Structures are given as structure tokens and as C-alpha cells.
Structure 1
Amino acid sequence: MGEADSIYGLVRQIVTSASAAAAIVAGFRIYMKWNRGEFVTHLILSWTVSILAVGALIYAVNVYIYGGGLRGGLAIGWTDMLKYEIYEAVMLFGIVVSIVSIIRIYYRYNEGEDIVPLIYQWVGAVLFLSVMGLIVSSLIKY
């Protein structure tokens, strides 16, 4: 099993490093487009979702395929373990969307548009995310 562990570790290291390098290159390209004044909100969102998807895939392979996490039987047994990770992932996604939204508001402010309604909507969305996070965290006894 030692050789399989080292081969798996090497492949995981290569995939993780290649994914990180691709994320850095994509982030730099987004930054260059941002400096040229192009609209990059959709690129930032897809870049963030891509990074999260790679992280989720690596985690799933580590825990469920390689680590034998699915040997426990019914799905209801291991979904109880996932509730904390899902809660944290959803809250992180909400934070990322909030940051992307404030960048869009900044772009519209620089273009001279009226941003007061957008700020009201953004504050309402952040408050909704916070309240729902509190409710869900109290329900799962985090």
C-alpha cells in the first residue's frame, strides 16, 4: 500500500499544483482585463466557481473514493457528517457573491450611474444571508 500511497500523493500534488497555476494565470488575465476597463464580473464569478469546484473534487476524491468514506452504508449516515461542510461552503459562496456584487456597484459608480438602489439591494441581500446563516447554524447545532 505504500507505493500506491506515494503514487496517489504524487498525482494529487501534480493536479493541485496545476490547478493552482491555472487559477493564478486566469486571475492575472482577469486583473489585466479589469485594468483595461473591461467588464469582468462574470469572469470573476466563473473563476471563483472553478476554484471551488476543483477544491470540492479533490476533497471528494480524498474522502470518499480514496479514503473509503462511502463504506458506511446509507447516504443518510454520511450526509450528517457533511452538513457542516455544506453550510460553510454555502456561506463562503454567499460572501464571494457579495464581493462580486460590490465590485459591480463600484463599476456603475465609476460610470456615473445612480447606485443608491443597488446599495439598498446589496445591504438587504447581505442581511438576508446573515440571518439565514444564523438560522441554519442554530438548526444544525453548529
Structure 2
Amino acid sequence: MDKKICGADLPSVAALSYLGDARHSLFVRRMLVLRGLTKSADLNREALRYVTAEAQAKMYEKIADLLLPEEVDVFRRASNSTHLNKPKHASGKDYRYATGFEAVVGMLEWLGDTERLEFLLEKSHSEDLEDNENDSEN
């Protein structure tokens, strides 16, 4: 990340998480369409496997060691944020990790750092993207 990031230059971590949720959802949808799914019921069912707090927490764990200091800071602030609601279908840890993951994605989207964003999303979905490649080879 070439730019020095100042917290004042960014929206709140809640807003970054909101933006990151949408951007991650778009990445997942594109991945599923590339996999060849065409029926909306199938697309929606498969997308749910990737957009849950539990799934996003696992994605964070895949990329945690790759995060730059600025990204770690945004993750930490988002995952410790007092705005978090009590999760209904996830552990508190998974919900915090998912919120942090979304905030990092949102920050990169906000800054327009598409190369870094795509790199982290591809790493967080590495097995899923390999499945896409294997499906297209058969």
C-alpha cells in the first residue's frame, strides 16, 4: 500500500465493514458465475457458504499473516468496535473476525487499491478458486 493511511481519511469501521460486506459478496457472486452456476436458487445457496460470519472468520485466518500494518490496524479496530450486535448464528469470535475481515476489504475498496484487494480476496478463497480451475479443465 503506497499511501500512508490516516484514520481521518477513512469512513468509520462500521461503514468500512458495510462496504466490505458488499464488495466481498460481489467477489463471491462472480466466482460462482465463473464456476458455471446459472440458476438463481443454486447461486444463492452456494453464496451462503461464503458470506456467513463463520466462513469469513476462516477467510481472515487464511490471510492474517499477509496483512500490512495499516490493514491489521483496521481489522483490530473493527473487530473491537462497540457497534457490534450480538450474533445470532455465530460465535462472538467468528463475528468479530468477520467484521474485521469486511473492514479490511472495505478499506481497500474505499482507497481504490484493486490490486491489493483482489490479491487478498483470491488468497482468502484459494481453494475455491482452485475448484473453479479444476471444473473448467474437466
Shorter-chain TM-score tier: 0.3 to 0.5
**Which has the larger Rg?**
1
State the TM-score, normalizing by the size of structure 2: 0.34
The structure in which a higher percent of residues are helix is: 1
TM-score in terms of structure 1 length: 0.33
Q: Name the structure, 1 or 2, with higher relative contact order (CA <8 Å, separation 6+).
A: 2
